[in-house]
Copies of this chain bind each other. A is one copy, B any other.
Amino acid sequence: MAGGVPLPLKKLMEHFASLPGIGRKSAQRLAFHLLDIPEEEARSFAESILEARKAIHCCKVCQNFTDREVCEICGSDQRDPSVICVVENPKDVLAFERMQEYQGLYHVLHGLISPLDGVGPDQIRIKELLTRLQDTRVTEIIMATNPTIEGEATAMYISKLLLPLGLKVTRLAFGIPIGGELEYADSVTLGKALENRVDMG
């Protein structure tokens, strides 16, 4: 970009452009927007970033983001402590909670085992999951990592640790999405759907 962009504005644009999914043009638009809105709103935005970073950490039980020592879900007596759903990251917890049907607890791994990226079992929160199993109320672990190579490998690795403990370990069903059309399903999804077909009798 040629002259006419003062440095502090340029810096702000660069910060926006560093965010995922925000291109150069959007970053420019967002930076100008923050100069246009009332001073107080812009300050409040900046402070919400600092405040979130200061207040948010991982729940000491499930490792999900929280501003308490033990998160709202782990601390609730409305949830079923016998089931733990294991997910890759906090966004997955939000997806489950939006559904408003799951009543069990969660465990957030904060990553997946990925030897190519140098991420081994010790770099994700697996030992924190094992610690939780000292709670004898736990009977089922739902492996809800994504159906990717890393997601499958991680689910497999953890299930091999848990099965000898006599726990029920399940995996989320993968198949044709509801509302999807067979015609457009990729072969891998269609294969999964066929393999895991359910008896209608």
Q: Hey, which bits of chain A sit against chain B, CB under 8 A?
A: 1-9, 11-12, 15, 18-22, 26, 28-35, 39, 41-56, 64-68, 71-73, 76, 89-91, 93-94, 97-98, 100
B46:A50 contact, CB within 8 angstroms? yes
Known interface pairs A12-B51, A32-B91, A43-B49; 18 further A-B residue pairs with C-beta atoms within 8 A, sorted by A's residue number: A1-B94, A3-B72, A3-B73, A3-B97, A6-B66, A6-B72, A7-B67, A8-B52, A11-B51, A12-B48, A19-B33, A20-B33, A21-B26, A34-B49, A42-B53, A43-B50, A45-B49, A46-B50
User: Which of A33, A39, A48 is most buried by chain B, counting CB atoms within 10 A of its CB?
Assistant: A48
A9:B65 contact, CB within 8 angstroms? yes
B19:A30 contact, CB within 8 angstroms? yes
Q: A62 to chain B: closest CB distance in Å?
A: 10
> Residue A29 contacts which of B32, B44, B64, B91 (CB distance < 8 angstroms)?
B91
Given contacts A20-B29, A53-B34, contact A8 B48 (CB under 8 A): yes
Given contacts A30-B19, A72-B4, A97-B3, contact A49 B42 (CB under 8 A): yes
Chain B residue nearest to A34 in the complex (CB): B49
A48:B15 contact, CB within 8 angstroms? yes
User: Which of A4, A94, A97 is most buried by chain B, counting CB atoms within 10 A of its CB?
Assistant: A4
Bound: A76/B100 CA distance, A: 61
Chain B residue nearest to A93 in the complex (CB): B4
Chain B residues, Cβ within 8 Å of A39: 53
19 residue pairs from A and B, CB less than 8 Å apart? A4-B71, A4-B73, A5-B94, A6-B55, A6-B65, A6-B66, A6-B72, A7-B67, A8-B52, A8-B55, A8-B67, A9-B52, A11-B48, A15-B44, A15-B48, A28-B91, A45-B49, A46-B47, A46-B50
Chain B residues, Cβ within 8 Å of A90: 32
Chain B residues, Cβ within 8 Å of A53: 34-35, 39, 42-43
